[in-house]
Structure 1
Amino acid sequence: MNQRIEVRMGSDSDLPNISGVFDVLDKLQISYEARVLSAHRTPRAMGSEARALEEDGFWASIAAAGGAAHLPGMTASETVLPVIGLPVRTRAADGMDSLYSIIQMPDGVPVGTVGIGQAESAALLATQMAALADVDARNRIRDYRNLDELVEAKAHSFVGIITPREAEIPAQQFNDAKRYVTRMLGAGSSEEFAVASPDLHNLLEPLREIEYAGATAIVVLADEEAIDLPKRVAAQTDIPVVGVPVFNETLRSARQEDNLLCRMLTDFTEDGDAVGYPMAGVGINKIVNGARYAVQIASNYTDGVRRKLRNEREQMAREVSAKNERLRSLGPARYLMDMKG
């Protein structure tokens, strides 16, 4: 397998915490390059290396950071390759500061985030993104994860979408996400499967259909009642899974999202140890960002998609520049009046 994975960290002090990344990549015979690139101390080098990832032959980047963990998001702002955020556990907030700094990215620039300290999950996820069209590499992954062997490997412009049947999903965002996938990958490039619960017998049939279609990603929505759904899907397939937490305002006002975010990304043993899954979480209610991340994964396999992603980023930059010029011209008071209508 010639595809390479970049592994970047903000400081060499992170290296002992993420050594599991290299153990997994070595076992799976995946080529990688490790780098120390600080978003705060070496921002120019960090940005330059991120912009060169495609040209240098990388298929994904794992960015590990703790505390004010800006490295994954800043990396994602400079590339349209999928960036996997690996939150490093911290003394001050046990890694929750790292998790929120990474996962809750603004619209347009997603970072797929694994559980706090889940180095193995990050390595498996990156490998799955890069190996979709390589049957030998996929079977090494599947053997490592105790999944059935594949006869062939397919990677088409298709995104499976799995939703909890009874969930209250924001209709506008969900429809926008489906339209986004269609616009970027073409007609018929996604299909929704509603499941009654995260139980295995409810997942096997849609997963078989999604795998048979050669999907490059599966977007899984999770509300409070089905918060386990993304990791249950990820446990049964080597297709990259993107988990999107969908929380209502009552839940958010009760400050329950911290616990639920961790539950979406990890399981916990009776001793309190975290067990991770190779899945990419995106921000709370960021359904379109979840779709966008799935498209970034697909861009490794579909001609022309990466150009569309770059054009989209350039348009976003133009819109921000126009707002900046208008604010400087009008001043804050007039600008605020115009915003209020």
Structure 2
Amino acid sequence: MKVSLIMGSTSDQHIGSACVDVLKKFGVNYEVHIISAHRALDVLQEYCRAQKDDTDVYIAMAGKAAHLAGVLAGMVTQPVIGVPIKSSILDGLDALLSTVQMPSGIPVATVAIDGGTNSALLAIQILAIGNSALKKKLILYKESMKEQVCAMDSNLEL
């Protein structure tokens, strides 16, 4: 059970860190790389070939043209989660549209702009389909979120 997190450049690291924190919290194996779909396509292709049997879910983070998730999805059969990164004057809208607008037959699950945390949680939910221990951790996590909201409600003073 492994998640491969691929970022398009070092400027995506601040969002990648949030993703890694969640994967660590749930005890999910992961590896992280910087591989540009535009500047190092052959490296990305070789990485996908090498990971064919080892990676269960890919998370791809990229800004601007943000073709990384789509290129990955075109090369692999595992689920690909795209994280559009806010990195330009268009506030990430360019990356969002590049990530979400995939042709028929090449699906990419896309989370919010800068949604590193949700990308990790979605990967964990995918992995939990076949892993009861991970599913239990997710149930506890969601229960904890509910308790936090209930505590905020009980402490509300207006």
Query: Which SS does the other structure have where 2:71 is aligned?
Result: helix
SS of equivalent to 1:146:
helix
Fraction of identical pairs, as percent: 38
Q: Give the Cα separation in 1 of the matches to 2:16 and 2:93.
A: 17
Q: Is the CA contact (8 Å cut-off) linking 2:63 and 2:88 kept in structure 1?
A: no
Cα distance in structure 2, aligned partners of 1:110 and 1:50: 17
1:141 is aligned to 138
1:215-246 Cα deviation digits (max 9, x unpaired): xxxxxxxxxxxxxxxxxxxxxxxxxxxxxxxx
Following superposition, the deviation at residue 108 of structure 1 comes to 1.1
Q: Note if contact 1:18-1:117 (Cα within 8 Å) is conserved in structure 2.
A: no
Match 1:121 to one of 118, 122, 139: 118
Residue in structure 1 matched with residue 156 of structure 2 by the alignment: none
In structure 2, distance between residues paired with 1:4 and 1:16? 21
User: Contact between 2:5 and 2:33, CA under 8 Å: does it hold in 1?
Assistant: yes
What secondary structure, in the 3-state scheme, does the structure 2 residue paired with 1:142 have? helix
The 8 Å contact of residues 47 and 74 in structure 1, kept in 2 or not, is answered as no
Alignment of 1:1-341 (within 5 A): 3-55=1-53, 57-146=54-143
Paired residue total: 145
TM-score under structure 1 normalisation? 0.41
In the alignment, the residues of structure 2 paired with residue 103 and residue 81 of structure 1 have an alpha-carbon distance, to the nearest angstrom, of: 17
Distance 1:80 1:31 in 2: 19
- 1:17: how far off? 2.5
1:82 offset after TM fit, Å?
A: 0.6
TM-score (norm 2): 0.87
Residue in 2 aligned with 1:154? Answer: none
Asked whether the equivalents of residues 5 and 31 of structure 1 are also in contact (C-alpha less than 8 Å), the reply is: yes
Larger relative contact order (CA 8 Å, sep ≥ 6): 2
Is the Cα–Cα contact under 8 Å of residues 15 and 115 in structure 2 kept in the other structure? no
Conserved 8 A contact 1:9-1:15: yes
Q: Matched residue of 2:56: which SS?
A: strand
Counterpart of 1:94 in structure 2: which amino acid? Answer: D
Amino acid at match of 1:12: T
Secondary structure of the 1:62 match is strand
Instruction: Assess if the C-alpha contact under 8 Å between 1:24 and 1:123 holds in 2.
Output: yes
Q: Tell me which structure has the larger Cα radius of gyration.
A: 1
Unaligned runs of 5+ residues in structure 2 are 145-158
